[in-house]
Amino acid sequence: MGQALKHGYAFDPDDPRAPSVAAWERMTDEERARVVDMLPSEFELEPPEGDPHRVAASQVITTLDAYFRRSGRKIYLSSNLAVFYPDEPAFAPDLLAVLDVEPGERMKWVVGAEGKGLDLALEVTYAGNLAKDFETNVERYARLGISEYFIFDRRRLSLRGYRLPPAEPARRARSYQPVLPQAGRFASQVLGLELAVEGSKLRFFNGTARLEEADELIGRLGGMLDDVLARKDEVEQRAADEARRAEEAEQRAADEARRAEAEARRAEAEARRASDLERQLAEALAEIERLRRN
């Protein structure tokens, strides 16, 4: 049973919706905060589709999150976050992206409270409701003004993309136009990247560079760390060898100095002995000469 609030808005826990635009505009800040608190952050719209769906969706969000954190671009990304448009049934895309908002943690996305809707939605399908992803969402997301919508069919390993054309003032109802691939890649104007299916994965490209997934990045960084550690060991070993050789050279120099000092002492002793012998010889010759004269 719904809970009636002011301004013609009633909260129904079985069909939780954000207030209409008119009702939201009539609410005070306190009333709006109360409504946002009432809207659920967790609910199951579709039954789980198994590990292939879970792994593919997880790889998408972790790859993009790491890329945009490194790039410093201001973009909010989330996965399976409850989204509430005014007076619309809630939904939770496998990936959502909103440009030019703070990328802090959120429990739900309430368009009225955030001040803008989604710029991109991406769904991964494997064993789920194909009609929902390929038909219902195509009409609904376009009507809600979501600029781009991509669908990755993990089972069939295919990708589709849709984009809203430039708004025409005379047209109120909007519909998507297909994004046509170029050389197998689909361009996303929202992300500034290209999408393509490689093997069993949805991959993202910045120009010719493929964005690394988390495990690939960890593996590459781990390999770089191993190389650095190996070079560090080599440098330390070379330094130890140089220190040992320097110590040996110093020891040889000390030994040579000691030998030179000993040689000098021996030479000095020999010089003294030679001087003594010369003195003794001179004395002997003088004595002989004296004896001859006598």
Q: Is residue 114 scored above 90 in pLDDT?
A: yes
Q: Are 45 and 51 in contact (CB under 8 A)?
A: no
Asked which of 45-59, 223-237, 249-263 is least confident by mean pLDDT, the reply is: 223-237
Question: What average pLDDT does the segment 70-85 reach?
Answer: 95
Residue 214 pLDDT class (50, 70, 90 cuts): low
Asked which of 67-71, 97-101, 255-259 is least confident by mean pLDDT, the reply is: 255-259
Q: What is the pLDDT of residue 3?
A: 61
Structure tokens at 156: 């069939």
- The CA dihedral of 140, 119, 182, 166, to the nearest 10 degrees, is 80
Those residues with Cβ within 8 angstroms of residue 254's Cβ, 6 or more apart along the chain or in another chain: none
Those residues with Cβ within 8 angstroms of residue 246's Cβ, 6 or more apart along the chain or in another chain: none
Q: Is residue 173 scored above 70 in pLDDT?
A: no
For residue 267, CA distances in Å to 77, 264, 271 come to 89, 5, 6
Q: Is residue 240 scored above 70 in pLDDT?
A: yes
Those residues with Cβ within 8 angstroms of residue 59's Cβ, 6 or more apart along the chain or in another chain: 201, 202, 213, 214
Q: What is the DSSP string of the chain?
A: --EE-STT-EE-TTS--BPPHHHHHHS-HHHHHHHHHHS-S---SS----HHHHHHHHHHHHHHHHHHHHHT--EEEESS--EE-BTS--B--SEEEEESS-----S-EEHHHHSS--SEEEEEESSS-HHIIIIIHHHHHHHHT-SEEEEEETTTTEEEEEEPPPP-TT--S---EEPPPBTTBEEETTTTEEEEEETTEEEEEETTEEPPPHHHHHHHHHHHHHHHHHHHHHHHHHHHHHHHHHHHHHHHHHHHHHHHHHHHHHHHHHHHHHHHHHHHHHHHHHHHHHHHH-
Structural domain boundaries of the chain? 40-211, 212-294
Q: Is residue 57 scored above 70 in pLDDT?
A: yes
More confident residue, 152 or 279: 152
Each residue's pLDDT tens digit, 124-166: 999 878 899 999 999 999 999 999 999 999 999 999 999 999 8
Nearest residue to 36 (alpha-carbon basis) of 106, 116, 99? 106
Q: Are 108 and 41 in contact (CB under 8 A)?
A: yes
Q: What is the pLDDT of residue 16?
A: 93
More confident residue, 60 or 286: 60
Buried/exposed 231-251: b ≥16 CB within 10 Å, e otherwise: eeeeeeeeeeeeeeeeeeeee
Q: Are 185 and 196 in contact (CB under 8 A)?
A: yes
Positive or negative, the CA dihedral 204, 206, 210, 213 is: negative
Question: What average pLDDT does the segment 261-278 reach?
Answer: 80
For residue 119, CA distances in Å to 90, 188, 275 come to 16, 11, 107
Q: For all residues of the chain together, what is the average pLDDT?
A: 87
Residue 191 pLDDT class (50, 70, 90 cuts): very high
User: Which residue do the tokens 């046509």 mark?
Assistant: 180
One CATH from 3.90.1570.10, 3.30.360.10, 3.30.70.1400, 3.90.550.10 for 40-211: 3.90.1570.10
Q: What is the pLDDT of residue 223?
A: 52
What percent of the chain has pLDDT above 70?
Answer: 87
Residue 230 pLDDT class (50, 70, 90 cuts): low
- How far is the C-alpha of 116 from the C-alpha of 164, rounded, in Å? 16
Bridge partners (DSSP) of residue 97 are 77, 120
